[in-house]
Amino acid sequence: MASQNMDPAAAAASSTAALKGSESGGSAARSSVSKRLQQELMTLMMSGDKGISAFPESDNLFKWIGTIDGPQGTVYEDLRYRLSLDFPAGYPYQAPRVKFVTPCFHPNVDDQGFICLDILKDKWSALYDVRSILLSIQSLLGEPNNESPLNTTAAEMWQDQEGETKELLLCYTVLHHMIYCTHSTALYTQRSKACALSSDRQQGLMEL
């Protein structure tokens, strides 16, 4: 009943003050996240880790573009992948949204580029940073989790890397990369010859 007798001007002033307080709190939170991301950028640049990098996209500190080089000794060797990293206002207490921009044929990556990786989901911790995320994804390329695949075809090929199945896995990997990076064409030609695939099989793969 007391609220019905409140002076309209006082109510408006109260609402305005509350809104300003909310905006101030939101600005403070974004400032805190911005400082954290700036520190992570410096840490990543000074780390000297080979095969990973990431930088903010344009002037938006909450959206980054990362790159990962495929691990040596795997079907992803000599391939470079781009990823997008979107950081929420609740970072680092909430995990960033990370996905492949470059098409990636992998058991734990779906056709939209989303990644099945525990540290990006239920195992996320505020102790993780951009560097640890990129290193974990790079490691995942060579050591997939076939128990929870997003790409069942890739998972089946990975489990049976013998004979022609391994040859197909090699070529599928480069073909998916070619969708985004035209310079992969030469690598595909090189690998398809090394795989000794029949001309009919090579043509079939190129038409996928």
How far is Cα 118 from Cα 120, in angstroms, rounded to an integer?
5
- Phi/psi at 83 (nearest 5 deg)? -130, 155
The residues with which 99 forms a beta bridge, in sequence order, are 84, 114
What is residue 9's predicted lDDT score, i.e. its pLDDT? Answer: 55
Burial of 51 (0-12, 13-18, 19+ CB in 10 A): middle
Q: Is the pLDDT of residue 207 over 50?
A: no
136 to each of 10, 66, 68, 71, how far by Cα in Å? 55, 13, 10, 12
- Residues 133-161 pLDDT 10s: 999 999 999 999 998 899 999 998 888 76
- % of the chain beyond a pLDDT of 70: 70
Topology of domain 13-148 in CATH is: Ubiquitin Conjugating Enzyme (3.10.110)
Of 62, 66, 52, 57, nearest in space to 94 by CA: 62
Spell 68-98 as b/e; 16+ CB within 10 A means b.
bbbbeeebbeebbbbbbbebeeebbeebbeb
Domain ranges of the chain: 13-148, 160-208
Biggest CA–CA distance in the chain, Å, is 86
The pLDDT of residue 80: 92
| Token duo for residue 25 | 């709190």
pLDDT at 131: 97
H-state helical runs in the chain = 8-47, 130-142, 152-159, 163-178, 184-195, 199-206
102-123 pLDDT per residue, tens: 999 999 999 999 999 999 999 9
Known active-site residue 104: no
The string of pLDDT tens digits covering residues 169-202 is: 777 787 777 766 655 455 545 555 545 444 444 4
Which of the following is catalytic: 116, 171, 181, 195? Answer: 116
CA dist., res. 154 & res. 144, Å (int): 10
Strand partners, 65: 55, 84
**CA pair distance 84, 106, nearest whole angstrom:** 17
* Mean pLDDT for all residues in the chain: 80
92: cis peptide before it, omega within 30°? Answer: yes
